[in-house]
């Protein structure tokens, strides 16, 4: 079987595709993969490091308001469609799967026009423009949230699969997470993470809290993001701070570390939420207000409405409020247990199995 994968721009589009590929490879070892992305997105760095062959097309997204740049975008889209046709004719995939981002638009659209089996995966509760557009042409729309099922009224088939990243992290070893960072296995662990580059608003609130709370009765792993680490590390070294605080710019074995957490403070990116619900980790979510369709807010509210998380909007985030919420949860074993159970119910660790099943059905039907 030959599978063409496409998606890019953010890790939230790339990692689900790679997780799916890893799972398909286990089920059908002879499968060959090709990844198509842009040369400027994160995929250009992440995909080759994962050992997957990759080709590039160049494309950008439409502006939501009238803009002259949209004419350039249309030209780029048509040029990318021509390049996509060449790539598809050369690789001869049995199925094409898009996981979101602008680059998936011309690739999946062209594949559908060529009569190939096609699938898209929507990670967020509120779909992006590219996937809304593609849903009219392709065979299967796989979604991660039940709330998304009604968002694709013109699609041939919409199925709730979950996010394949959840399948990959479900077997993470919490003991390895603890040992890798020299953490205590006795004290509760709170993890703060704002993404690979960090989140300034979260970092500032956490800084304000930790510099006034010397006697922490639990551990805090403060993952600042590489952009912010030097400044925060210098600031916090200049003041008294609890010995139970560990500051790092980035954590490479995050699934294992998350598996050992009692509480996570984070943004509400869809792939990250798939990881913590799969592991059953309670969370305080501070959705980014700077994303398309405010989709992180809707992702976060889906967890809060299910009793799996507490949501603090960034406009209401302060050091004192964050500290209050943390202390209300950590040490309250009954409340933490309730959040864990609710998070676990939302987790779909069989996500990659479900997507693989749909893909194999498409290939057999073709």
pLDDT digits (tens, 9 = 90+) for 317-331: 999 999 999 999 998
- Looking at residue 338, its pLDDT comes to 97
Interval 43-80: pLDDT, tens? 999 999 999 999 999 886 655 554 555 556 777 889 99
Give SS3 for 244.
coil
Residues of the chain with CATH 3.40.50.2000: 2-165+349-365, 171-346
Q: Which residues make beta-bridge pairs with 283? A: 264, 309
- Looking at residue 340, its pLDDT comes to 97
The CATH number given to 2-165+349-365 is: 3.40.50.2000
Q: Which are the contacts of 156, defined by CB distance < 8 A and separation ≥ 6?
A: 138, 139, 140
Q: What percent of the chain has pLDDT over 70?
A: 94
Q: Residues 235, 206: contact at Cβ < 8 Å?
A: no
Among left, alpha and beta (phi > 0; psi -120 to 50; other), residue 88 is: alpha
Q: Which are the contacts of 333, defined by CB distance < 8 A and separation ≥ 6?
A: none
H or E stretch covering 140 = strand 140-143
Interval 213-230: pLDDT, tens? 888 999 999 999 887 778
Average pLDDT score, the chain: 92
**Is 10 one of the annotated binding-site residues?**
yes
- Looking at residue 238, its pLDDT comes to 55
Closest CA to 354 of 238, 274, 294, 234: 274
Among left, alpha and beta (phi > 0; psi -120 to 50; other), residue 62 is: beta
Please tell me the distance from the alpha carbon of residue 81 to that of residue 112, in angstroms, as a whole number: 11
Order of all β-strands in the sheet with 140-143: 54-56, 32-37, 2-6, 95-98, 118-122, 140-143, 158-160
**Is 226 one of the annotated binding-site residues?**
no
**Is 296 one of the annotated binding-site residues?**
yes
Q: And the tokens for 59?
A: 């494309």
**Is 235 one of the annotated binding-site residues?**
no
Please tell me the distance from the alpha carbon of residue 263 to that of residue 190, in angstroms, as a whole number: 5
DSSP one-letter code for 128: -
Among left, alpha and beta (phi > 0; psi -120 to 50; other), residue 198 is: left
Superfamily (CATH) of domain 171-346: Glycogen Phosphorylase B; (3.40.50.2000)
**Is 39 one of the annotated binding-site residues?**
no
**Is 123 one of the annotated binding-site residues?**
no
- Looking at residue 69, its pLDDT comes to 58
- Looking at residue 236, its pLDDT comes to 64
Please tell me the distance from the alpha carbon of residue 186 to that of residue 98, in angstroms, as a whole number: 43
Q: Which residues of the chain have pLDDT under 70?
A: 60-72, 196-197, 235-240
- Looking at residue 62, its pLDDT comes to 53
């Amino acid at each position: 079987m030959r599978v063409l994968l496409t998606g890019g721009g953010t890790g939230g589009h790339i990692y689900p595709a790679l997780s799916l590929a890893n799972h398909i490879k286990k089920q059908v070892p002879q499968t060959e993969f090709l990844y198509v992305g842009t040369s400027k997105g994160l995929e250009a760095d992440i995909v080759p490091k994962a050992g997957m062959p990759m080709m590039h097309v160049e494309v950008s997204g439409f502006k939501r308001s009238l803009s002259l740049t949209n004419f350039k975008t249309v030209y780029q889209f048509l040029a990318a469609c021509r390049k996509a046709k060449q790539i598809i004719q050369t690789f001869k995939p049995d199925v094409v799967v898009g996981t979101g981002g602008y680059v998936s638009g011309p690739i999946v659209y062209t594949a559908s026009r060529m009569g190939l089996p096609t699938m898209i995966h929507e990670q967020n509760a509120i779909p992006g423009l590219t996937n809304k557009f593609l849903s009219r042409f392709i065979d299967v729309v796989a979604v991660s949230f039940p709330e998304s099922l009604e968002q694709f009224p013109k699609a041939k088939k919409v199925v709730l699969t979950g996010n394949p990243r959840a399948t990959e992290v479900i077997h993470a070893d919490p003991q390895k997470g603890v040992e890798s960072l020299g953490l205590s296995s006795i004290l509760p662990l709170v993890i703060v993470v704002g993404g690979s580059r960090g989140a300034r608003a979260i970092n500032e609130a956490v800084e304000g809290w930790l510099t006034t709370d010397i006697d922490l009765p639990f551990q805090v792993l403060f993952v600042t993001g590489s952009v912010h680490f030097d400044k925060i590390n210098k600031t916090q070294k200049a003041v008294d701070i609890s010995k139970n605080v560990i500051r790092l710019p980035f954590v490479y074995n995050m699934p294992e570390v998350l598996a050992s957490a009692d509480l996570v403070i984070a943004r509400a990116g869809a792939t990250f939420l798939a990881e913590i619900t799969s592991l059953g980790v309670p969370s305080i979510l501070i959705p980014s207000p700077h994303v398309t369709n405010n989709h992180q807010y809707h992702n976060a509210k889906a967890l809060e409405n299910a009793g799996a998380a507490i949501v603090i909007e960034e406009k209401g985030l302060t050091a004192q409020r964050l500290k209050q919420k943390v202390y209300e949860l950590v040490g309250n074993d009954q409340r933490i247990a309730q959040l864990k159970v609710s998070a676990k119910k939302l987790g779909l660790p069989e996500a990659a199995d479900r997507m693989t099943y749909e893909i194999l059905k498409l290939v057999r039907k073709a």
